[in-house]
Structure 1
């Protein structure tokens, strides 16, 4: 085991969840780690979730939150959840693809007709089934947070159509679906870790990346990327997950409180996210970024081969079900 992961594991074990067995004075602290800044709307919503949980439980339950990658990367924290050394985390649905192959559906470009279609899907049986599908891998989805829509931003070369992506190195997450999308559009998909992306953009290792407006703003990538094209190719939700070893230690009442706090945090985060998106776009414009609105038809046409490749796979019926919800 690499030394850095070993050290983080020992640290996480020291922070392990303590569930006292006394019937009258039981107090449950759940450790929650994530990699985002404390100003990010996701962190603020998790703080709100803790406040709601403490209120519902009369102070007998709490979330102890460790932001800014204090404990490790998304992957490392997920591994700590699996062994029960950490309680909860926030991950992109793309990061769960290795455990739940069906999560790849969220990385498909232009899957949703609009934001209403997106939330209708997440709040349906489809969304719940995907949250539950990780339990064989010792992780359980509690709910979703809005992560907006991802769009392209570039440093030197303006992108307005798929043709403009030809040969351009675009940073993507470590997701084969994301790689396939950019390559199909004509770009050169280049996986780079989030922590190394600013420098990679600055040094020209990649010519651009793709993400939602708040992430573009809070990461300060706008300092080195002066073109932002709102093509909104994917809408990949964040997922709040809990390790099943921790979940199974909770009483039925505690599980109910936590689920209710999750629901209220989701509604709270929707509002924060919308406000943060609008603010972020204004801030990057003020900083000199040229924000453009794409002709989505051109981009939708460019990725049609991706949907043809799904024929006969486990994603085909799932895509059909999601598409039909938008038509209702």
Structure 2
């Protein structure tokens, strides 16, 4: 009898969920490489709640976390083709596609997280979002990606000389490859999901990322030396397939844009909490924070010379540096 009651309750719950799903006229499929509960995933879920409420249940978002729809490079292409409706992606993989995204990806371009927020919330951020429209995408909002630092399994990095010869995973971006090379190390572009086993088996010595990713990925288990050089404070971006967006009415388009904007402060609050939790949770790791960043910054001159070439990009750099 208990089994029958339990089964009945499960079936009723299933029917209720199915009814809720069919109540939505449109359900946007959204991709994220991070696990369920990660700040970016939670923020898109919060956006979905806002959108569903404001559209009287017509518009919904279903988030496929943990790279269920593929790694970032693959999901970018799928979003451009309209197979995926929405996508939360790091800016790095876009560097070879949209030149404007190279600027916030430059090493040491931002003085702090607050400085990055002020830039991305202003005219420069909007200029970058607008650039996605030429690539079958609609830029909706920027999320935090934290400050990225090097971690490895071989030795503490206390100076630029300690990087020499080490093999680091980087995102699939020519700029990040050149950044690592300029520091005297070797860059290996590879999908995020392959990093743990690659460090464990010695294919690479380490990677570079923020506290929450270092924690949630388990990379701290195989790479115990974490150097807070904070070479990148790269925002992440939420985009939508242009074909999906263009099929919406102007009113629904504005609902989507506004819900995306309103999800940003939600994400930032969750990110700050997660960063503190991750830093406290990671155990048995040697954290190196007392380093002179000047040689690291000086080594980036050829990277800037290579990528900041057009007057438009040069002006963007000047605008960022002038932002308080």
Q: Does 1:304 align with 2:301?
A: yes
How far off its partner does 1:265 sit?
1.0
For residue 254 of structure 1, give the secondary structure of its aligned residue in structure 2: helix
Q: 2:97 aligns with which of 91, 96, 99?
A: 99
Query: Runs of 4+ in structure 1 displaced over 6 angstroms?
Result: none
Which residue is equivalent to 1:56? 54
For residue 323 of structure 2, give the secondary structure of its aligned residue in structure 1: helix
Aligned residues: 301
For residue 89 of structure 1, give the secondary structure of its aligned residue in structure 2: strand
Which residue is equivalent to 1:14? none
How far off its partner does 1:26 sit?
8.0
Label 1:69 to 1:231 Cα distance change in 2 as closer, same or farther (>3 A): same
User: 1:315 and 1:151 mapped to 2: Cα distance?
Assistant: 25
- Structure 1 length-normalised TM: 0.87
Q: 1:251 aligns with which of 249, 252, 263?
A: 249
Which residue is equivalent to 2:285? 289
Which residue is equivalent to 2:201? 203
Deviations 1:14-61 (A, max 9, x none): xxxxxx9xxxx9822211122210021111111111111111112121
Alpha-carbon contact 2:157-2:288 (below 8 Å) kept: no
Label 1:312 to 1:242 Cα distance change in 2 as closer, same or farther (>3 A): closer
How far off its partner does 1:311 sit?
6.0
Deviations 1:233-276 (A, max 9, x none): 01111100001100011111111211121112111000010111
User: 2:103 and 2:279 mapped to 1: Cα distance?
Assistant: 27
Deviations 1:64-100 (A, max 9, x none): 1211122222222222222222210111111222331
For residue 40 of structure 2, give the secondary structure of its aligned residue in structure 1: helix
Q: CA RMSD in A?
A: 1.7
Q: 2:231 aligns with which of 230, 233, 241?
A: 233
- Structure 2 length-normalised TM: 0.88
Structure 1: segments with no counterpart, 5+ residues: 1-19
Which residue is equivalent to 1:113? 111
Deviations 1:155-175 (A, max 9, x none): 121111111101111111111
How far off its partner does 1:63 sit?
0.5
User: 1:249 and 1:89 mapped to 2: Cα distance?
Assistant: 17
